[in-house]
Amino acid sequence: MSMAWERWQEVYQDLKFANRMGGGAIRRMLNRKLSMAWEKWQFTAAELARQQFLLQGAVNRILKRKMSMAWEKWQQVYQDLKFANRMGGGALNRKLSMAFEKWQFTFGVWLQAAEMAYQQRRLGSSAILQGAVNRMLFLLQGAVNRILKRKMSMAWEKWQEVYQDLKFANRMGGGAIRRMLNRKLSM
C-alpha cells in the first residue's frame, strides 16, 4: 500500500511538472506578441542597466581621478611583476608592495577628504574645513621652508645620513671589538 501511494505521488508530481511546462509553452504560443514584447523589455532593461553601470564607472573615474590613476598604476605594476616573476625574477615583490602602498595612501587621502566634506555638510560649520586648511598650510609651510633654506635642509639630511651610517658602523664594529677583547673567554 505504501509503495502504491509513493508511486502515485511520483506520477502526480511528474504530470504536474509536465502540465506546468507545457502550459507555459502553450500560453507563450497563444500570447506570442505579448511574450515577444516581454522578452524585448527584459533585454532592453538589462542593456540599460549595463550601460548605466558602465557610465557610472566612467563618472567615478573622472570624479576620483587620482584614486583611479593610483589603482590603475598598481594594476599595471602588478601585471608587470607577475610577468617578470613568471619569467624567473622572483625578487620583485617589493615593488609590488610599494605600488599597493602608494594606492592605499592615495585612497586614504581621498577618504579623509570625503569624510571632512561629509562632516562639514552634516555639521554646517567651517571648523572642520578650517582644521584641514590649517593642516595643509602647516605642510605647505614646511615645504616652502625646505625650498627657501635649501642648503640648511641638505646639510640636515646629510647629517642624518652620516649619523645612521656611523650608528650602524659602531654597532658592527663594537661587536667585533667585544669579541676580540673577550676572545680568551670564549676559548
Please write the tens of the pLDDT for every residue from 27-42: 777 778 887 888 899 9
Task: Check pLDDT > 80 for residue 155.
Answer: yes
Per DSSP, the chain holds a count of helices (H) and strands (E) of 7, 0
Is residue 70 exposed (0-12), middle (13-18) or buried (19+ Cβ within 10 Å)? buried
Q: For 50-74, what is each residue's pLDDT tens digit? A: 999 888 888 888 888 888 888 888 8
CA separation for the pair 99, 106 (Å, rounded):
11
Task: Check pLDDT > 70 for residue 43.
Answer: yes
Task: Check pLDDT > 80 for residue 95.
Answer: no
Task: Check pLDDT > 60 for residue 44.
Answer: yes
Is residue 99 exposed (0-12), middle (13-18) or buried (19+ Cβ within 10 Å)? buried
CB contact set of 77 (below 8 Å; sequence gap of 6+): 95, 96, 99
- The pLDDT score that the predictor gives to residue 73 is 84
Q: Are residues 119 and 135 in contact, defined by beta-carbon separation less than 8 angstroms?
A: no
Q: Are residues 108 and 102 in contact, defined by beta-carbon separation less than 8 angstroms?
A: no
Q: For 117-131, what is each residue's pLDDT tens digit? A: 766 666 665 565 566
